[in-house]
Amino acid sequence: MLVAAAVCPCPPLLVPAVAGQAAAELDPVRAACREAVDALAAARPARLVVVGPDGADGPTVHPAGTPGGFHGYGVPLEVTLGTSGTPGPSRPESGGGRRLPLSLAVGAWLLAEAGWTAAPVSGLAVGPAMEPARCADEGRRLAAEAERVALLVMGDGSACRDRRAPGYLDERAVPYDDAVARALASADTAALTALDPEPAAGLRAAGRPAWQVLAGAAGPAAMASRLLWYGAPYGVAYFTALWTAS
């Protein structure tokens, strides 16, 4: 049963070490994410699953202890899924095991910053090729795996909000993101499930499959919901929201 879910964005700039001198620009987003993660802990889950997009087809399960990092952004910062405490500098790895995709690495960083110890953690990466029905099925499966399940759902909206955005300017972006914001604010699972993969791909809205996992996990249950933050500071839409079981 889903008892709580936090929706957070997953840009690498959310990590201050990556953002560098521009870190303060996303302080309000970080504060909203911290509020949402703290609320997950307060819900007393038996299990937490970090769900986020990946470039692969998915779904791919990442167990507790899976490492990740931000080396691709010139920062020797390493994180480990499900390990509390402040992330540290890179350490030599033994073996060539699987690593966290960026979205789950940012999620692991958020949990470490919050000192998460409330419940065991695992990760689920979902890909852009996953159809809405399959995403929802994954959510229902997660919700059924424990009596009290919480989700940390990572994902960004469109990357086409202005001419500086990674996807340049697309007039469809604002209406699309506004619709997602309304769905997250009202826990509208039907609206999230109805998001079409094709326009999401065209707008580079990478969070679409992760939001549909959330919709499947919540199902028809009544959820109290709040939209904690919504904006597009770099031409990419970021959402932070909190859902809790009523």
**129 φ, ψ (degrees, to nearest 5):** -85, -10
pLDDT score of 89: 58
Structure letter (DSSP) for residue 182: H
pLDDT score of 92: 38
Peptide bond before residue 120 is cis, with ω within 30 degrees of 0: no
For residue 232, give the amino acid letter. Answer: A
Closest CA to 155 of 52, 15, 75: 52
List all residues 6 or more positions away from 95 whose beta carbon is below 8 Å from its beta carbon.
none
CATH of the domain at 194: 3.40.830.10
Closest CA to 121 of 43, 19, 69, 46: 46
For residues 155, 161, 163, 166, the Cα torsion angle rounded to the nearest 10 degrees is 10
Tokens 């997602």 belong to: 180
Structure letter (DSSP) for residue 76: -
Residue 190: its H or E element: helix 189-193
Cα–chain center distance at 202: 20
Domain range for 92 is 2-245
3-class DSSP state for residue 154? strand
Q: Which residues of 109-126 are buried (b: 16+ CB within 10 A; e: fewer)?
A: bbbbbbebebbebbbbbb
Number of domains in the chain: 1
Mean pLDDT of successive 10-residue stretches along the chain, which has 246 residues: 98 96 95 98 97 91 96 94 66 60 98 97 96 98 96 98 91 98 98 98 97 97 96 96 95
What's the number of CA atoms in the CB half-sphere (13 Å) around residue 208?
Answer: 28
Tokens 């990946």 belong to: 54
For residue 212, give the amino acid letter. Answer: Q
Under 8 Å between Cβ of 140 and 217 = yes
List, as one string, the DSSP characters of 39-72. Answer: HHHHT--SEEEEEEE-SSS--EEE-TT-EEE-GG
Residue 199: its H or E element: helix 197-202
Cα–chain center distance at 139: 14
